[in-house]
Structure 1
């Protein structure tokens, strides 16, 4: 048995970290006008944000094609892999997980074990890292069971702060009136994943207060995991300096926790908008050095 690990591009794991653990990537697509771009391959973040600011309507996003997934699986089979653990963003916000299932049924000689992470971004990447770092250390069935347990909210969780209501309004999730009122009141929604869906956690006045509220919730959850090897990540949407300052502040408060800085790429940033921030973590031991 030879096991490959696949993750979709919305994990936004650093390339060198994926190379270190031989994690393969299947890209989602962002569509600007009539042009489709594969995330992390055909368009960089700076170009994406520049283009998105100029658009009256949001870019569109799409899951990987079944054909692209089949090509990836066939190449893995040719390399001698018999199984592939494939970790994907929540099935409630994308059809990528279902594409993996369908592609797996179309390629003989390699068995696909698709994982619905029920979350997204680097927090989803924690599962892929755990799989890659343990695939040769434990039986496959045991590892798959661990991944299912790992993704439970008590073990892996995240909160997201939306800085601007513009993208939610353009995407039809807010009316013009709601967006205007929210902007005037400086409302900063905090979002979370619940049952694999993105749902409102709280609406806070000002971004500073929203960040403080997320810190309070994080502190409550960390109090339950004092003896666990927590790894946390601060995620930003084209706001690296702000994200880094928040991460540095959290590092001082929690010297026993490993913190990493990540970003929202084009597919996720299309929906959250520029300036969004996230804070997520896992209580499972993962190596994030590269």
Structure 2
């Protein structure tokens, strides 16, 4: 059992720990500022133009471009030189350690890049952390790490807490088709692409063992897919004995997300149910109108 009272005891560590993440956490700006979180933008390319997520283009503008793009969009990694500059600047600010929490290593090479980079940094200790997920599930891990760092928790305490929270994350994605994921190489069982041909709504998830995105089931119609995800969630909730935070995530379809949120609130009145979104980098692979139901231990109640 995690001793939260000990973790949150100010002054528990003499280390000064910074927290870094990437733009796919989709954290509100006020949260970033409140907890002094550093966010590394992930680049993406559409019609030959490179954009930094969260900086050069809005999410709405991205989806407009996606509808009319002549080429399949792609994503990239931040420049290593920019990463080194960020970590070195944190060292100059007085931090001796940085926990850098990023999207799943199964869908991006960024985590491995940081693992390779860690030995090259001498002025600050770099601790790369694989969230094994992305979007606001990762965002909540980042928030918790930043809270603990501000409260003076030690590196081991923060990493232990992150491991415990990460083990509670789960999610199901509903996409219109698998074209983007298959072409982008992010779907491990790509044979499920046949679902698109049959006009079936694929349900995707991160595999518990490999942490890769897999096609979980194929369901006819969005309505049935939503119901199937709700049933899967209910099955899991029946075995959970801790407070859960639910996140409804949408790819440029806020009305659909709000409708689903309202339905879930009626079913789970004791749960915090947030709405978040798939920005350009994740939207590149899932496509517009994707929806997801995600959940994890509630960091405000745990």
TM-score (norm 2): 0.87
String of CA shifts for 1:187-214, please: whole Å, max 9, x gaps. 1111111122001111111111111111
Q: How many Å separate the matches in 1 of 2:192 and 2:71?
A: 17
Would you say the 8 A contact 1:100–1:114 is kept in 2?
yes
In structure 1, the residue corresponding to 2:119 is in which secondary structure?
A: helix
Q: For this pair of structures, how many residues does the alignment match?
A: 281
Measure the CA separation in 2 of the matches of 1:217 and 1:72. Answer: 41
1:67 is aligned to 2:81: yes
Tell me the CA shift for residue 169 of structure 1: 5.9
The 5-angstrom pairing of residues 113-262 of structure 1 reads 113-135=127-149, 136-152=151-167, 155-168=168-181, 170-171=183-184, 182-183=195-196, 185-194=198-207, 195-226=210-241, 228-262=242-276
2:48 paired residue number = 34
Measured in 1, the distance between the counterparts of 2:183 and 2:153 equals: 47
In 2, the alpha carbon distance for the partners of 1:220 and 1:9 equals 32
Check whether the contact 1:126–1:286 (CA below 8 A) recurs between aligned residues: no
Residue equivalent to 2:6:
none
Q: 2:175, 2:161 → 1: CA distance?
A: 32
Partners of 2:182 and 2:171 in 1: CA distance: 23
Q: Which runs of 5+ in 2 are unaligned?
A: 1-14
Deviations 1:33-67 (A, max 9, x none): 33211110111112211111112431110111211
Q: Which stretches in structure 1 are left out of the alignment for 5+ residues?
A: none
Secondary structure (helix, strand or coil) at the match of 2:72 reads coil
Q: For the residues of structure 2 that align with 1:64 and 1:103, how far apart are their CA atoms?
A: 13
Please, what TM-score do these two structures have when normalized by structure 1? Answer: 0.90
Deviation for aligned residue 1:170? 5.0
| Partner Cα separation in structure 1 for residue 108 and residue 182 of structure 2 | 20
Q: Distance in 1 between matches of 2:183 and 2:164?
A: 36
The structural deviation recorded for 1:104 is 2.9
Distance 1:105 1:51 in 2: 40
Whether the 8 Å contact between 1:5 and 1:84 is mirrored in structure 2 is yes
Alignment RMSD:
2.1
**2:245–2:297 contact (8 Å) kept in structure 1:** yes
